[in-house]
Amino acid sequence: PVLHRIDLITVRLPFVKPFATSVHTWAVKEALLLRLESDGVVGWGECVADPDPFYASETTQTVRHIFKEFLLPLLTPGQTIGELLQRWSPVRGHGMAKAMVENALLDLIARQQDRPLHALLGFSERRIQSGISLGIQESIPALLEAVAEATSRPYHRVKLKIMQGKDIAWVGAVRAAYPKLTLMADANGDYGLEHATHLRQLDAFHLTMIEQPLSYSDIVQHAALQGELATPLCLDESIHNLDDARSALALKACGVINIKQGRVGGMIESLRIAALCQQAGIAVWSGGMDETGIGRAFNLQLQTAPGFNLPGDTSETARYFNQDIVAPSVVLADDGFIDLPKGPGIGVTVLEDRVARFTLARESIL
Ligand code: OSB
Ligand code: MG
């Protein structure tokens, strides 16, 4: 498309509650939004990078830099997304920056064609499974309270964040109180291979999987750990692209991959990873990065693709924000499923007055 306006907008939305993990506690959602306009049609992308490098090495500032200096100059009217991704291939890494731009272009193109994004990608509408990720709590009673609140809504599965010192007894207490709950744990890389015997105690709680127990940069030690545990491992931080997924499968490092489209470079790379995993009989699901309604809408559209058969981290808007920047909000139906929003593109309407209310900085690039 011919772009008539390009804006980078930094927004900061207060979370309903701070989100604590083994690596950091985020009290607000600060995100970089990309707004593209062509002949009055607007497409939006949301970058999943945080202002800090504690989940991933990219930050909102590196994304701004890579976008302006290296990605934007390679954008030309009339090129397909496939051609663009090919032209971007000399830019190593920076998947979060690439995803932001790819997302905004896909939303724009789908809106220009007045079609939902899933249709543009070739997938039929389907209802999406839900899941909730609970941050690390102060105490076991506080955790049980958080699980009680989560299970008061019909989520298909609950994920507990764990870390050293807040793990076996904590997950065990939840399992004892909820014998039938579909439950998993996410360590965000807090353990080492020397903790294999310790982590093996989690096998008793029949978790559906343990996400990223070991380092964000490791694949091979996960393979060794998987050999020691009955519970399937799931990789999140370690998977940056299709090559990483191929390495993980070849090494039998995991039984499941958490595909975050915002982390792996966008929707197209996500579909490649999902197809590879499907061929290998490995389950995938869509993770989340506590996105605003823009990023979450992309995650919903992605889950119409084949292979996304496990409930992911797509939760109701109300558990993240009192006020979001899109309408409609994500709400679970009585059976726990999420109905895709109906509109063109990512399906939701971006509320520009809300965006303005939460804007920290706005940079007009074109
Ligand atoms: O590790 O999956 C993670 C949120 C921020 C950073 C990392 C992670 C998460 C989540 C929550 O677990 C996902 C969500 O609810 O969007
Ligand atoms: Mg994770």
Atom of ligand 1 nearest to the CA of 188: 1
Instruction: State the pLDDT confidence band at 218, using cuts at 50, 70 and 90.
Output: very high
The reply to whether ligand 1 has any atom less than 6 angstroms from the CB of 290 is yes
Asked if 68 is an active-site residue, the reply is: no
Contact 341, 297 (CB under 8 A): yes
What's the number of domains the chain is made of? Answer: 2
Residues 79 and 208 in one domain: no
Ligand 2 centre from 343 Cα, in Å? 30
Catalytic residue, chosen from 29, 98, 161, 166, is 161
Residues 109 and 210 in one domain: no
What digits encode the pLDDT tens for the residues 32-91? 999 999 999 999 999 999 999 999 999 999 999 999 999 999 999 999 999 999 999 999
What is the predicted pLDDT for the residue at 228?
Answer: 98
What digits encode the pLDDT tens for the residues 87-135? 999 999 999 999 999 999 999 999 999 999 999 999 999 999 999 999 9
Residues 106 and 220 in one domain: no
Residues 193 and 317 in one domain: yes
Residues 273 and 176 in one domain: yes
Residues 161 and 249 in one domain: yes
Residues 145 and 86 in one domain: no
What is the predicted pLDDT for the residue at 95?
Answer: 98
Residues 92 and 200 in one domain: no
Residues 111 and 125 in one domain: no
Euclidean distance between CA atoms 189 and 359, whole angstroms: 32
Contact 139, 164 (CB under 8 A): no
Q: What is the CATH number of the domain that holds 29?
A: 3.30.390.10
Asked if 252 is an active-site residue, the reply is: no
Q: What is the CATH number of the domain that holds 251?
A: 3.20.20.120
Residues 127 and 207 in one domain: yes
Residues 266 and 304 in one domain: yes
Among 218, 203, 122, 117, smallest CA distance to 168 is for 203
What does the pLDDT average to over 266-286? 97
Among 10, 6, 127, smallest CA distance to 59 is for 10
- CA separation (Å) from 320 to 191, 285, 292? 27, 20, 8
- CA separation (Å) from 98 to 88, 106, 233, 265, 355? 8, 12, 27, 5, 22
Range of the domain at 48: 5-116+350-364
What digits encode the pLDDT tens for the residues 316-341? 999 999 999 999 999 999 999 999 99
Query: In which element (H, E) is residue 198 found?
Result: helix 196-200
Atom of ligand 1 nearest to the CA of 291: 16
The reply to whether ligand 1 has any atom less than 6 angstroms from the CB of 292 is no
Ligand nearest to the CA of 290: 1
Pocket test for ligand 1, best of 257, 289, 294 (most atoms within 8 A of CB): 289
What is the predicted pLDDT for the residue at 107?
Answer: 98
Euclidean distance between CA atoms 336 and 306, whole angstroms: 20
Residues 205 and 137 in one domain: yes
Pocket test for ligand 1, best of 96, 132, 133, 332 (most atoms within 8 A of CB): 133
